[in-house]
Structure 1
Amino acid sequence: MSKGIWISALASLIILGLGGGGTYFIHRTAENELGGAPLLAVQTAANAATAAAVTKEKKTRKEIIEDSQIRVVTIESGDGLGSGFLYNDQGDLLTNAHVVTGSQQVTVRTLNHEEYKGTVIGIGADTDVAVVRVPELKKLAPFPVAEGYKAEVGDEILALGSPLGLENTVTTGIISGLGRSFDIDPYTYSNLYQISAPITHGNSGGPLVNAETGEVLGINSAAVSEGPGIGFSIPISSILQQAREWSKTPMAELPAGDGGDEYGTDSDGTVADERDIVAFFYQSLNNGDYVTAYSLLGSEWQSGISYEDFRAGYLNTGDITLGSLTLEEQDDGALVSVDITAEERRKSGTVYQGYRMSYSVGYENGELKILHGKGEKL
């Protein structure tokens, strides 16, 4: 059965990290009307006793939110920011793989602003899930997990996390659809919950919580970036067995590509070549990740153009193809040149325009930035 997103051809999906390497966009042609087979949640183990103990007495919505927030954290990984939540008594956090990819060590911040170092002990290569261990969090009781939960459209839910870096945020909604499946390279998403609770960058890895019982139902992972508020959550039952295996036997080595910087580093963590940041700049533009692309610019360049104007300048640009990047060393950095072909959407139709671009690249406050740029049509 072919996979598709049941949304208009112009809508975009985002996986909801915040910062470098944490955001991706895809465009999908509508293949079906809104719909899909109902999700049959799989019961993988018997942890019902813990859940029953927590939900034996009916709690108010406020009490459920307060109890949930204690178990939710903000995760900082390199230039990325996302969310996570405590799922066992070993101090292990569930989150999305795209929140922590490229890092073995991350910073974890709790509700009361305590910071700890976390270690990525398991991460999916094509499944967007990861486990981060923080031994200091063993003292906290984990979320009760709704392993045998059978979702129904209309079930009331809470989405917790750090959207746009706003920590301890809670939004409310319902499960508005079932059985949604699609691909956002390199991840495959299957049988997702579609939710109406607003989520955005930074919500990635945060829990989807049953508003009536306080049990965690899933991991908030993606959203439609245009149109009505539609988000997607990975059912907890579909990834719980894999997470428990990582918790029992941590990965001895993370998969290739996980453990370095987002745009190419040497083993000491320094950028291997000034050309890499220019390539990453265009990669971010092609992914629709304008926040990351803008963050790579130097302060002088940013002072001359707001983020809103920067983003608006690329909204009618499709894929950008790069030729070979050349490097010329200079006293204060390097000059990186590249010929590009940009897909430009105009009133008269789509055209493919060539440009010759040159960028001054250098360090600013210890970070490599694209300081200046200029180009000419070919």
Structure 2
Amino acid sequence: MSAAACLIILGSGTAGAYLIHQSAESSLDGQPLLAAAKTSAQDDKGAVKAAAPKTRKAIIEDSQKRVVTIESGDGLGSGFLYNKQGDLLTNAHVVSGSREVTVRTLNHKEYKGQVIGIGTETDVAVVRVPELKELEPLPLAEGYKAEAGDEILALGSPLGLENTVTTGIISGLNRSFDIDPYTYSNLYQISAPITHGNSGGPLVNAETGEVLGINSAAATEESGIGFSIPISSIIAQAREWSAQPMSKLPDVSAGGEDDDGGDGYADERDIVAYFYESLNTGDYVSAYSLLGSEWQGKISYEDFRSGYLKTGYITLGTLSLKKLEDGAQVTVDITAEERKDSGTVYQSYSMNYSVGYENGELKILHGKGEKIK
């Protein structure tokens, strides 16, 4: 198996993951969200004194105020404020297929954001939230020269656990690989644990609080190895989108302009994503209706529904598409919240679906899966 085959980008599935909404921190009371921390102070004579170095805790608290959770039609990820226009940097795969997304801040206020720029080969996008305009962004380390051993923080919403921070070091440099349709070059390899939902979150220098990169991929769920796109390699493109937003977004998943097959699906991956979205919202009727007649002939609706009653949220990995002569094959790794008598467990599966048209409608014709140990 090639190294690239073991890599995953970290967007959550259609329904994201289970969300734990904590109460807003009392330290934010009366303070503007994302407000800048003071970096200098005046003495009794009015002279400016040099600011003391920030503690690790202060850097984390300041950074979290500028990091958001992003929910789109395809899942859940993270992002961070990078300018005073209310623009957020995130990964393209977090917002792919969506023009409008939901953005949730540290104090759990929700805003509508517009995707104003998205890469088709580079996994980066910009989301604009007018309500966040003029708020202080995270500082960017554009001229940063990384070295192995540099201490870092990874912020985001792994598995929907918002406001999560993990620590580690830069453990490797100049890593490059492809995860269709994106090309990743000169990445930072990091030891800070990241997983689904971390996508688009900032990689922060643990000593200065400056953004070093965008957390984007992991080797495997269990490896503890992640990858971050250096901020210096994508900031110029992001600023171009902020200055001149795209009037029409490209269809990143298909590699072309926006187009659907006439049934509301951009391609066969969308019906599989909608299948899991229906399951996660308890809409078993819609999920069952997406199955082909042969599959429905093997299981009644009642049995289908009862099979999912002890399943909580299902988190999706990256949906992969392979076109066939008579349809398509869609593969995806999922993590299911399973409620057992002994307690709740989280089990990962590798799923493979055959998708094609039946009586003029796109259907999930067959499916099989196996546990990922």
Is the TM-score greater than 0.5?
yes
Structure 1 residue 228: deviation in Å?
2.3
| Distance change in 2, residues 1:303/1:245 (3 Å) | same
Q: TM-score, normalised by structure 2?
A: 0.66
Structure 1 match to 2:54: 59
**One of 123, 139, 144 as aligned partner of 2:139:** 144
Give the whole-Å Cα distance in 2 for the aligned partners of 1:167 and 1:374: 32
**One of 271, 291, 303 as aligned partner of 2:264:** 271
Verify the 8 A CA contact 2:69 2:77 in the aligned structure 1: yes
Verify the 8 A CA contact 2:357 2:363 in the aligned structure 1: no
Give the whole-Å Cα distance in 2 for the aligned partners of 1:81 and 1:102: 13
Verify the 8 A CA contact 1:51 1:215 in the aligned structure 2: no
**One of 156, 160, 164 as aligned partner of 2:159:** 164
Verify the 8 A CA contact 2:269 2:330 in the aligned structure 1: no
After TM superposition, the structure 1 = structure 2 runs for residues 170-249 of structure 1, keeping only pairs within 5 Å, are 170-249=165-244
Percent identical: 67
Give the whole-Å Cα distance in 2 for the aligned partners of 1:251 and 1:358: 33
Structure 2 match to 1:17: 11
Give the whole-Å Cα distance in 2 for the aligned partners of 1:256 and 1:134: 22
Residue deviations 1:245-270, cap 9 Å, x none? 1111111221245799x99465xxx6
Verify the 8 A CA contact 1:156 1:210 in the aligned structure 2: yes
- SS of the residue aligned with 2:178? strand
Structure 1 match to 2:283: none
| Distance change in 2, residues 1:183/1:307 (3 Å) | farther
Verify the 8 A CA contact 1:172 1:198 in the aligned structure 2: yes
After TM superposition, the structure 1 = structure 2 runs for residues 1-378 of structure 1, keeping only pairs within 5 Å, are 12-20=6-14, 56-257=51-252, 264=260, 266=262, 271=264, 280-281=271-272, 297-298=287-288, 301=304, 303-304=306-307, 322-324=324-326
Structure 2: stretches of 5+ with no match in the other structure:
17-35, 41-49, 281-285, 289-300, 332-352, 369-373
Aligned residue type for 2:264: V
Give the whole-Å Cα distance in 2 for the aligned partners of 1:120 and 1:157: 28
Structure 1: stretches of 5+ with no match in the other structure:
1-6, 23-49, 285-289, 312-317, 326-337, 343-354, 362-367
Give the whole-Å Cα distance in 2 for the aligned partners of 1:279 and 1:138: 33
Aligned residue type for 1:208: L
Cα RMSD for the two superposed structures: 4.4
Structure 1 residue 188: deviation in Å?
0.5
Structure 1 residue 322: deviation in Å?
4.6
Give the whole-Å Cα distance in 1 for the aligned partners of 2:230 and 2:15: 23
Structure 1 residue 140: deviation in Å?
2.0
- SS of the residue aligned with 1:179? strand
Give the whole-Å Cα distance in 2 for the aligned partners of 1:189 and 1:209: 19
Residue deviations 1:20-55, cap 9 Å, x none? 499xxxxxxxxxxxxxxxxxxxxxxxxxxx999589
| Distance change in 2, residues 1:356/1:197 (3 Å) | closer
| Distance change in 2, residues 1:321/1:178 (3 Å) | same
Residue deviations 1:275-310, cap 9 Å, x none? x668843xx8xxxxx9789769448536326769x9
